Amino acid sequence: MARAVTGQRKMINTLAAWSVGLLIFFPILWTILTSFKSEAQAIANPPVFFLFDWTLENYSAVQERSNYSKFLWNSIIIAGGSTLLGVLIAVPAAWSMAFVPGKRTKDILLWMLSTKMLPAVGVLYPIYLGFVKAGLLDTRVGLVIVMMLINLPIIVWMLYTYFREIPSEILEAARMDGATLRDEIIHVLTPMAIPGIASTLLLNFILAWNEAFWTLNLTAAKAAPLTAFIASYSSPEGLFFAKLSAASTMAIAPILILGWFSQKQLVRGLTFGAVK
């Protein structure tokens, strides 16, 4: 029996949920709105909401002054490169753990998760020093490697929970039909694993995009991604609210949209399959 819901109750729910939703979303909405204002309107008291002279000048100013596209490109390379590399390395690991689990599989999985808990700051200097010696400081290659290693445990875990859901009977059937290990991987496993791999790519791209410890500490002018680009606004010039808002909007817009598409996978991925 479905629960009978009165129209009135539904109305109240709707009203309450939308109010809370808008309240939580408000800082983002306010940033987007402010990015279209003039600097004077951005700090006006009482604040103006929609009735102001909409302008795009902040966006061009930000691009001119700080070369936004360079940082965007760095973000794309670092987040994209590290995610792709991570998945390439993690697929064999997750595959063998899901299909040929040994006695130690569980221990290895838990150990991998535990490396994620190692505080980054505890190993900051050795990594920093290694980067200096290897000439990797402020390079995109260096950041790709570090980001990949940081997210590798999550990638392995995500892939593992997805792979585990592929029924192993299918693999056995393929083996009976004389499929080699290579055939098995290419023709049977890969097509079934693609949705899981896609969600893993998406979620880890988002995580790498937003990472702000190593990107702030290991980059300077050349390889800095958007996290560092925004942090450069923390000096007093950040008081130009409209320009700050334009820069912020440009930094979060791509990932916000990707994020909306990934919210279902987010739960599975970030809870290591514990909540579905």
Q: Find the largest Cα–Cα distance for the chain.
A: 76
Position 139 contacts another protein (CB under 8 A): no
Per CB under 8 A, the segment of 48-56, 88-96, 135-143, 179-187 that binds another protein is 88-96
Contact 232, 67 (CB under 8 A): no
Contact 204, 151 (CB under 8 A): yes
Q: Please pick, from the candidates 63, 66, 139, 217, the single residue that binds another protein as defined by CB under 8 A.
A: 217
CB within 8 A of 229, min separation 6: which ones? 66, 68, 71, 247, 251
Handedness of CA 107, 91, 81, 266 (dihedral sign): negative
Position 56 contacts another protein (CB under 8 A): no
Position 113 contacts another protein (CB under 8 A): yes
Site for another protein in 146-185 (CB under 8 A): 149, 152-153, 156
Helices and strands (DSSP H and E) totals, the chain: 13, 0
Give me the least distance between CB of 176 and another protein, in Å please: 25
Give me the least distance between CB of 236 and another protein, in Å please: 10
Give me the least distance between CB of 178 and another protein, in Å please: 26
Position 135 contacts another protein (CB under 8 A): no
The C-alpha atoms of residue 145 and residue 2 are separated, in whole angstroms, by 53
Position 84 contacts another protein (CB under 8 A): no
Give me the least distance between CB of 241 and another protein, in Å please: 6
Site for another protein in 57-76 (CB under 8 A): none
Residue type at position 8: Q
Position 25 contacts another protein (CB under 8 A): yes
CB within 8 A of 144, min separation 6: which ones? 77, 78, 81, 82, 85
Rg (CA), the chain: 23
Estimate the share of the chain in helix, then strand, then coil, as percent rounded to the nearest 5.
75, 0, 25
Nearer residue to another protein within complex by CB, 59 or 209: 209
Site for another protein in 186-205 (CB under 8 A): none
Q: Please pick, from the candidates 201, 206, 224, 246, the single residue that binds another protein as defined by CB under 8 A.
A: 206
Nearer residue to another protein within complex by CB, 173 or 193: 193
Q: Which two tokens stand for residue 251?
A: 């930094």
Per CB under 8 A, the segment of 60-68, 178-186, 187-195, 231-239 that binds another protein is 231-239
Cβ neighbours, 10 Å, residue 43: 14
Site for another protein in 2-21 (CB under 8 A): 3, 5, 9-10, 13-14, 16-18, 20-21
Total residues in contact with another protein, by rule CB under 8 A: 94
Nearer residue to another protein within complex by CB, 135 or 173: 135
The C-alpha atoms of residue 134 and residue 84 are separated, in whole angstroms, by 23
